[in-house]
Each structure stands twice: as C-alpha cells, then as structure tokens.
Structure 1
Amino acid sequence: MTNPLFYAKILLFGEYGIIEDSQGLTVPYSFYKGVLKFSDLQSDFDKESNSSLLKYASYVHHLELPEKFQLDISHFEKDIENGLIFDSNIPQGYGVGSSGALVAAIFERYSKIKYVAEKISKAELMELKQVFGTLESYFHGKSSGMDPLICYMNLPILIENRDTIDKVSIPESQAGKGAIFLIDSGSTGETAPMVQIFFEKMKTEGFRKTLKEEFIRYNDACIDAFLKKDMNPLFRNLKSLSTWAFKHFKPMIPESIYKAWKKGIDSNAYYLKLCGSGGGGYILGFTKDYAKAEKMLKGFHKEVIYRF
C-alpha cells in the first residue's frame, strides 16, 4: 500500500465570510500530516482510530455519490478489518483540517477513478468540493468540503465565491523580518457551536450589513494585497479586519487571547485573526517585525508558517 501523506491546511483569509460569498485563501501546512496505514492495533490510539474508521465506513456505505466519484467501500471495509488506521499528528479542534486530511486520504485511496491534482479542471474542483462536503459532513454536521479539497489538492486554493474556486500560486516564503504565525490558544474549539453563533448573529440586520460592507471588503482586500505581495495595503486592511473581528466575533475569540488581540491592534506591532471557526485552537498572527511580536506575545506557543 502506497502511503501518500496528507497535510493540514490553514485558511489565511475568509473565515465565516466564505459562508456569505466573500473570497477565501487557503494553503497547505506541511508541519502537520496524516497517513492511512496498517497496524497490529496494540496501542489505544490505534484501536480507537480503527474503530472510528469502522463507524465512518458505515456512514459512507449509505451515501449516494456521483458516478465519477464513487468509492470502493468493500475494499475500505476489508482494510479496516485488517487493521487500517489514520496515523495523524494534526491536532483536532485547532482549525487546521484534521477531518479534512482524513477524508482526503480515504478518497485518494478508495476512489474508483484516480485523479491527478494538477490536471483537475476548475469545473471538477467544484464537483469534488461538493463530494468532499458530503463525506466530511459526518464530522461537522454540515461541511463546505473546502478543508478536504485543500488537503487532497495540496495546493493553495483561491475561493472566489461560493460557485468559483481555483488553484493559485502565492508569493514564495523568504527570509525577512515579517511573518505569518500561529498562536496556540491552549484549548480546542468545536466548529458546530461556533458556526451556530454566527448564524444567530446573521439573523440581525445590523450584523449582516456590517459583515457585507466592512468585513468582506477588508477580507477581499487582504487577499488581493497578499497575492500581489503589496504589504502596506495588506497591513492596513489587516488592522481593520482584526479590529472588526474583535468587536463582532468576540464569542469566537478564546478568552486567553483577548488581551493579546487588543494589544496588537493598539500597538500596531502585529494583528490577530481567527484561524477557521475559532472558539479555541489556533489564532493567526501577521507582523512586519516577528522578533518584536514574539517578545510581546511571550508565554504563548507560536509557530511561524510564512516569512517575508
């Protein structure tokens, strides 16, 4: 059995906004990864993983997937009997795509038709996203399919709107003072409750208006500036985005991060934003001077994911 690795993903921009048709930009993150492999099921981790796959196979068995994206379920179930596990160091509840990598790995291994990521057309990307949404709904109640798609493609993806996504190239990471980094909030977050809070907020006209007129505008401007590597407008819009989120997404910001979030806005030393749905897990940071930001964020575990 060949063992392709499936990496975590990071949604740089677009959290919640992509539900309402904003742009999104997501990139693979190779620090965390998962792989399907066989085990003698001696450890508790392996036993639990194998048992979880068995429950998931039962769910997939009853799905009606399009002809070109059918899975060989009997092969999947037979492998589970023989000790199949998903060996992953991707933290769950951290917004970096743990279930997305699992779904991508299963699709890669058991899809009856084999696809080559670089040759998948724009139209097929949308079809795949829908199929992955169905496959991942088991874990989140409702899934856009975006996380497994990123993990499967292992390429940066630009979400232009809910009907259009495309592969995109991002400026290469290079040694410099600036950085994009992750901060560990110290707690896990659950997607479903956070999304529920968002939909409750969407019931009020004022929130819908500010999301559309402010959040989406700042978000899309950040993506445009980042892809052009235009740092001044990027950081100007990041400050607006971070300030907006501090005001309107407060329930999604882990309490351990409140003061640090505000300190970044007030000092202009760095700006924080949600990484995924929030509530816990990782928070994303952007700074023009990482050495300075690191000192100001002493006490937090941080990981640099991109330098400029």
Structure 2
Amino acid sequence: MGSSDFSSSPAKLLLFGEYVILAGSEALAIPLSGFQTSWRPGPDFDAQYDLPQFASFLENLNLPFEFDHEGLRQALHAGWFMDSNIPQGYGLGSSGAVVATLLKQFAAGIDTTDIAALQKTLAMIESYFHGTSSGLDPLVCFLEQPIWVRGKEKIEIPKSPSKALLKKFFLLDSGKPRRTAPLVSKFNQNLKDPGFKKIIEEDLVSAQNLAILSFFKEDFESLHHDIGEISAIQRAYFKDMILPEHLDLWDKGLETGDFYLKLCGAGGGGFVLGFTNGEKPKVPENLIDLI
C-alpha cells in the first residue's frame, strides 16, 4: 500500500446483456484496456474533483480488508489525482475504474476467491458515485478479467477472448454522453406492456444468451447470426435508445448483413457496439477497435 507506484485500471465494456439482464438474461462484460484510469502524482488539485469527499466516504465504511486511509489522505494532500481517458457518460465504467484503482493502490488482503462477496463490497463502495451499484463495473476493472453473469448471485470468470475474436468488434463513437437513469426508467415502463415483455423475455433474452455461448465457442458464423437477431430486435423495439443519426447505418447493416450494430450499455449516446465478419463500415464517425 502507498503512493510509490502508479496503479491503473482498464475500462469495462458490456458486450451482451444490456437491459435484458433486468429481465433474467445472462450478461458478459470484459475489460477494455484502450481506456485507462491511473493514479498519478501531481500536484493537480483541480483534477482531484471529489476524491477528498470520496476518501471521507471510505473512512466510514466497514471494509472486509485493510485500507490505508492515512496514505490516501496524504497523497491527496500532496496533489495526487486520477488521470483518465475513460469518457464519462459512455457506460465504460469510469467510476468503477476509480474504485478499482484506489483499491489496487491503498488496499491489502482483498479476497478474490469469493467473487460474489467481492462484487457486493465493490457495489457498496461505488454507491458513492451513483447512489446504487451492481458492483459489476469495479469488479471487471479490478480483476481485469471478463465477468459472466449467469443469473442472480451467480457469476463466473470465463477464459479471456482471443484477439481474433475481439477484432470482429468495433465501437462507434456518438460523441455524446448519455444519462442512463431515464433510459432504464423508459425500459421498465415499456415492460408493463405484455407484448413488449414477451418479445424481451422470449426473443431478446434468448438471442443474448445464444450470442454469449457463440462468443465463448468463438463460432464466428453463429455469433454473426445471433448479433444480427439482437440488432433487429433492438432496432424495432428500442428506438428511444438509438440516436437518430445512427438509424441509417443500423439499417444498412441489417439489410446487407455485412455488419451489425447493437446497443452498448444503455444507448442514447456514448458508444454503439458493432460486429462484422468482414470489413468494418466506412463512416465519418470515429470507429474504435477493441484491440
């Protein structure tokens, strides 16, 4: 523990499970190393934002491991700060990366054998930023490994995907941050419609779960088909979550089958996730490879 080393954490990317995890679907999140949050010496007090308040919050928690509160206080007093290129409001776990990085820097004796218990602790810590937290974001950022949510209270660490598989994916940058809460509220309201609920629970949940299995098998053809199903369902039933400027490209993918777009997290801004078995689309927006 201490400030002698520069701890860092990757972003988190939810590949599958957006929204439908609320309806019982599985979910798969992976670390995204192209975006990082790092603990840096300053002095740069302006870049600390509310880290001093967060430090006070941590002091009042009953943590199941050692935490060097005094070391954190001294580092903040000396101007240490979080240096991050993880965009906020993009669903990439920016606050989860802050939590993970501070724990790597100042905590000791963390039990990583009980993943469910660790997730609950991380959820408690990250609640400072959002009021509530599932703990998934800081868990991925801290372990720097994929996390497979297989149901309530059931999570696993699967093998890391190959580079060949990750090269099939890309991110489309909308350039616009989003607010997740209103979008989730809209989804929950839509679930009260029996027709919508049936589509979600029977069709979309099935497509998401099949896509996760195809992903693990690295069955590119099946994965291409499964993501196409997800893309079509989201295009038809998640219009509020898709930016108008992305509709033509979304439709082009569905018409040609050359690539498919799907929501990346809540949608409504941030990134859109793409998958292709061939060439990536040529668009004016910034396309980002996962590796």
Partner of 1:245: 234
Q: CA deviation at 1:294?
A: 2.4
Q: Distance in 2 between matches of 1:305 and 1:194?
A: 25
Q: Is the 8 A contact 1:129 1:149 kept in 2?
A: yes
Partner of 1:257: 246
Partner of 1:54: 52
Q: CA deviation at 1:232?
A: 2.1
Q: Is the 8 A contact 1:108 1:114 kept in 2?
A: no
Q: Distance in 1 between matches of 2:23 and 2:95?
A: 23
- CA displacement 1:172-191 (0-9 Å, x = unmatched): 11399x72100001211122
Question: Aligned pair 1:186/2:171, yes or no?
Answer: no
Show structure 1 runs of 5+ residues with no match: 42-46
- Amino acid aligned to 1:93: G
SS across alignment from 1:101: helix
Question: Residues 220 and 272 of structure 1: is their aligned pair in 2 closer, same or farther, counting only changes over 3 Å?
Answer: same
Question: Residues 3 and 237 of structure 1: is their aligned pair in 2 closer, same or farther, counting only changes over 3 Å?
Answer: same
- CA displacement 1:48-99 (0-9 Å, x = unmatched): 332320122233333344xx24534343233222212101111111122111
Question: Residues 210 and 80 of structure 1: is their aligned pair in 2 closer, same or farther, counting only changes over 3 Å?
Answer: same
Q: CA deviation at 1:211?
A: 1.3
Q: Distance in 2 between matches of 1:129 and 1:87?
A: 24
- Amino acid aligned to 2:212: I
Q: CA deviation at 1:168?
A: 0.8
Partner of 2:121: 131
Question: Aligned pair 1:145/2:141, yes or no?
Answer: no
Q: Distance in 2 between matches of 1:170 and 1:76?
A: 32
Partner of 1:87: 83
SS across alignment from 2:149: strand
Q: Distance in 2 between matches of 1:250 and 1:129?
A: 32
Show structure 2 runs of 5+ residues with no match: none
Q: Distance in 2 between matches of 1:209 and 1:70?
A: 47
Instruction: List aligned pairs for 1:149-160, cutoff 5 A.
Output: 149-160=139-150
- Amino acid aligned to 1:132: L
Partner of 1:13: 16
Partner of 1:44: none
- Amino acid aligned to 1:294: P
Instruction: List aligned pairs for 1:71-220, cutoff 5 A.
Output: 71-115=67-111, 120-121=112-113, 124-174=114-164, 179-220=168-209
Partner of 1:303: 288
Question: Aligned pair 1:32/2:35, yes or no?
Answer: yes
Q: CA deviation at 1:32?
A: 0.9
Q: Distance in 2 between matches of 1:52 and 1:31?
A: 25
Q: Percent identity?
A: 34
Q: CA deviation at 1:129?
A: 0.9
Q: Distance in 2 between matches of 1:36 and 1:57?
A: 14
Q: Is the 8 A contact 2:65 2:110 kept in 1?
A: no
Q: Distance in 2 between matches of 1:49 and 1:192?
A: 26
Q: CA deviation at 1:112?
A: 4.3
Partner of 1:274: 263
Q: CA deviation at 1:38?
A: 2.1
Q: Distance in 1 between matches of 2:24 and 2:181?
A: 19
- After superposing the two structures, state which structure 1 stretch, 217-226 or 74-83, moved more: 74-83
- Amino acid aligned to 1:248: Y
- Report the RMSD for the aligned CA atoms in angstroms: 2.0
Q: Distance in 2 between matches of 1:203 and 1:193?
A: 16
- What TM-score do you get using the length of structure 2 for normalisation? 0.91
Q: Distance in 2 between matches of 1:206 and 1:64?
A: 45
Q: CA deviation at 1:35?
A: 0.9
Q: Is the 8 A contact 2:165 2:218 kept in 1?
A: no
Q: CA deviation at 1:127?
A: 0.8
